[in-house]
Amino acid sequence: MKILYCASEANPFAGSGGLADVAGSLPHTLCRKGQDCRIVMPLYGTIPQDLKNQMNFITNFTVPVSWRHQYCGLFWARWNDCTYYFIDNEYYFNRNALYGFYDDAERYAFFSRAILEMLPYIDFHPDIIHANDWQTALVPVYYYLFYSKNPWYHNIKSVFTIHNIQYQGKYGWDVNTECVGIPESEQKILEMDGKLNMMKGAIQCATRVTTVSPSYAAEIKDPWYSHGLHHPLINNHYKLCGILNGIDCPSYDPATDYQLYCNYTKENMGGKGECKRALQERLNLPQSWDTPMVAMITRLVSHKGLDLVRGGLEDLLNTQKMQFVILGSGDEEYEQFFRDMQWKYPDRVRFCQGFIPELARKIYSGADIFLMPSKQEPCGLSQMIALRYGTIPVVREVGGLKDSVFDSYDNYGNGFTFKNYDIADMCNAVKRALAGIYDNEGWHQLMWRAMMSDNSWDRSAQDYINVYQDTLNWL
């Protein structure tokens, strides 16, 4: 199959979150499985120069953006076993960040239209166009309205993946006139609650809709999780399925990861103790092998469950023998809370502000327990990485956390879970994990089961291939 994977970010060229990890991993796995999968993304100014030097110019053309036409340059590069295409317009993309600009709607309307306009120039007729999140949500809309009747574009199927339904590309209707350019007769495709909603349009127009875990696919049809999109999703339920994301297992391998203090395997876990000792030393915490370390690596925002942590952390610190380490940044109220906790418990709490990739890996490998009490979590990658390093996750049963972490009460699970979004339930799950550490044999078996968990892209990629093949048979 020929698959064009459309994403606003993709590793190693540009990334700000989980989408870049997915776009930088899934297409490569598809290629290794014999599919012709190619990636298209914007040519951002933030792409490192050494990677830009590997790009080759193809051509330039103009792209309709509502009532005007804008310049578009087209480049390509080969990275590992995948071809990347880059959409170039310096006005739109030569900036100091990926998102957060006043004209994001116009930038990604241009990008979405350019993806379809570029196809004849690269002599690549995809069987499937796979769009991701609101930044490419207009691709299936534009295809349906402007390209589906063109003989060259005939019979291209589209798949749209919702990575996080909270971000939908919602704007006032003036954006349509200025940027999007949908005819008045078809505006119902994008209309929702009196506004223009790009993700709603993709749900309406795409051949299939996927999301990043089976549980999340069920949850987003519920008003509690849908951020208003439950009606379009229920109306198009026959299109919807969930496929759990994977992680780049060769990269996250404790046996070979050069950023760890000491390497180890599931057969020989001795090095994990040294990872913990060295991490405690780096963070200026007491170096105690028998003091459990609970860690978090997260954006400090409410949907990550930080209100539960804020309500329960002192109880845990006052009743349990433990250290607590958190790496992340976000809302000031949470940053201040963790600064206060570090001041109040200087020998037991460390708040590391920001995101430091090498420190993150040292925390994944050095901690004993990894806490993810999310209010919402479409998929989550951190719990999968923690499992890979033998660090036992404590998670709320929501979204991808529910699909990848299973409670060990029966001696078959790979972590500890709780169901309700409740402080006491979270604390009880953490306490169960802390108690489990002192059963040396049982904990060692739990670590082994965690490291045996299969969260590779091989499994997920095959699920996508099955969806693609099935989609080709849809009318």
Q: Is pLDDT of 437 > 90?
A: yes
Letter for the amino acid at 176? N
Of the pLDDT bands very low, low, confident and very high (cuts 50, 70, 90), residue 22 is: very high
- Per-residue pLDDT tens for 403-416? 999 999 888 999 99
Quote the longest CA-to-CA distance of the chain: 70
Question: Long-range contacts for 220-228 (Cβ within 8 Å, ≥24 apart)?
Answer: 220/162, 220/165, 225/165, 225/376, 226/165, 227/165, 227/166, 227/168, 228/168, 228/192, 228/193
Instruction: Provide the residue ranges of all domains of the chain, joining segments of one domain with +.
Output: 2-246+458-471, 270-454
pLDDT of the residue at 123: 85
Write out the CATH class of domain 2-246+458-471.
alpha beta
Q: Is pLDDT of 430 > 90?
A: yes
Confidence (pTM): 0.92
Distance CA 7, CA 10 (A): 7
Residue 364: which of 285, 244, 251, 252 has the closest Cα?
A: 252
pLDDT of the residue at 410: 84
Q: 96 with 103: CB under 8 angstroms?
A: no
- Per-residue pLDDT tens for 250-295? 989 999 999 999 999 999 999 999 999 999 999 999 999 899 999 9
pLDDT of the residue at 355: 86
DSSP 411: S
Q: Is pLDDT of 17 > 90?
A: no
Helix axes 423-437, 306-319, angle to 10 degrees: 50
Strand (E) or helix (H) holding 20: helix 18-23
Q: 244 with 213: CB under 8 angstroms?
A: yes
Answer yes or no: same fold for 2-246+458-471 and 270-454. yes
The reply to whether CATH 3.40.50.1000 applies to domain 270-454 is no
Q: 371 with 309: CB under 8 angstroms?
A: yes
Q: What is the DSSP string of 200-214?
A: HHHHHH-SEEEESSH
Q: 44 with 74: CB under 8 angstroms?
A: no
